[in-house]
Amino acid sequence: MNWLVVDEIIKNALVEDSAYGDITTSAIVLPKSQCTVDLIAKEEGVMAGLLVFQRVFEILGEVDIQLCVNDGELVKAGQIIGFLKGKTQHILTGERIALNLLQRMSGIATMTHKAVDLLKGTSAKVLDTRKTTPNLRILEKYAVVIGGGTNHRFHLSDGILIKDNHIDAAGGIKEAILKVRSKVSFVRKIEVEVETLDQVKEALDAKADIIMLDNMSLQSMKEAVALINKRSITEASGNITLDNIRDIAETGVDFISLGMLTHSVNALDISMKNLSLE
């Protein structure tokens, strides 16, 4: 991860949460107060974002953290993840921001791990999307990788993806690809979103590098994969869940993109408990 970017995310979050100070903590806790706190997993899941959690308190200062697990490890409900020791005011002020980021990232890693596990024995790989929380994309895509998934493009400058509205604006798939090829470097692969077998044929004729099969039935997807026959990379997308991902993988697609990994995942339940003053 680019820690210059991550630090800005953390600092902005701290400013949002305590722009004029933490008036509750300041009223109750003396500036010189020191304490210890346990970091505990309250449900099973895959950890992601532990160094981001730690960085929150490094920025606030005067807090030491001992981590007992690493990113990518599966933890059980009730398991101690780490220990915090240091300035009580900083621990209490940073608690919510640190937990928010850790819980969000661990929830994404956990869901990704479940999806990847369902694909064992197939050649398909799990992809994320750009359906991420504004300003948290670098963290959320990192969490996908920790869970065993693969990153799709990070931003609009990172790759070419011609979607339905681009096709309508250009007047067709062939026209869209020709326009892109005339204006974008040859090193860029071109991906095209299609919804029908006729569009698959048009994308193949235009020599698309990657063909995204969007919202297709299983039967249509199987026919599309057979028609493409490895001439382009294939990606399945649209209304994919843990319930149907295995069936989709068995159509023979190369990649399966899941917006749900980042746009609607549940945070993993993690808390800071057992505060003890020193």
Q: Would you state the torsion angle of the CA atoms of residues 146, 1, 84, 93, taken in this order, to the nearest 10 degrees?
A: -120
Question: pLDDT value at position 125?
Answer: 98
- Do the bridges between strand 45-46 and strand 125-127 make them parallel or antiparallel, or are there none, so unpaired? unpaired
Catalytic residue among 42, 85, 153, 163: 163
**Helices and strands of the chain, counted as H and E runs:** 11, 12
95 and 220 housed in the same domain: no
Question: pLDDT value at position 123?
Answer: 95
> CATH code at 33?
3.90.1170.20
- Collapsing DSSP states into helix, strand and coil, what is residue 78? coil
| 214 included as an active-site residue | yes
Catalytic residue among 202, 214, 235, 254: 214
- Do the bridges between strand 74-75 and strand 210-214 make them parallel or antiparallel, or are there none, so unpaired? unpaired
69 and 193 housed in the same domain: no
Question: pLDDT value at position 78?
Answer: 97
| 254 included as an active-site residue | no
234 and 252 housed in the same domain: yes
Local confidence pLDDT in tens for the 278 residues of the chain: 899 999 999 999 999 999 999 999 999 999 999 999 999 999 999 999 999 999 999 999 999 999 999 999 999 999 999 999 999 999 999 999 999 999 999 999 999 999 999 999 999 999 999 999 999 999 999 999 999 999 999 999 999 999 999 999 999 999 999 999 999 998 999 999 999 999 999 999 999 999 999 999 999 999 999 999 999 999 999 999 999 999 999 999 999 999 999 999 999 999 999 999 99
87 and 138 housed in the same domain: no
| 96 included as an active-site residue | yes
> CATH code at 148?
3.20.20.70
| 193 included as an active-site residue | yes
CA 144-147-148 angle, to 5 degrees, is: 95
Question: pLDDT value at position 1?
Answer: 86
Number of independent structural domains in the chain: 2
91 and 145 housed in the same domain: no
Residue showing tokens 């790759």 = 159
- Collapsing DSSP states into helix, strand and coil, what is residue 162? strand
71 and 121 housed in the same domain: no
CA dist 257 → 22, 65, 202 (Å):
41, 36, 22
88 and 121 housed in the same domain: no
255 and 270 housed in the same domain: no
Check if the beta carbon of residue 224 is closer than 8 Å to that of residue 203: no
88 and 134 housed in the same domain: no
Residue showing tokens 């790989």 = 125
Q: What is the 3-state secondary structure (H, E, C) of 29-48?
A: CCCCCEEEEEEEECCCEECC
Whose CA is closest to 256, among 269, 241, 271, 273? 241
Q: What is the C-alpha separation between 9 and 29, in angstroms, rounded?
A: 27
203 and 99 housed in the same domain: no
| 128 included as an active-site residue | no
201 and 105 housed in the same domain: no
Question: pLDDT value at position 247?
Answer: 97
Residue 226: count of CB within 10 angstroms of its CB: 10
Catalytic residue among 95, 191, 193, 235: 193
Catalytic residue among 125, 130, 131, 222: 131
The residue range of the domain holding 132 is: 116-263
126 and 257 housed in the same domain: yes
- Collapsing DSSP states into helix, strand and coil, what is residue 74? strand
Question: pLDDT value at position 42?
Answer: 98
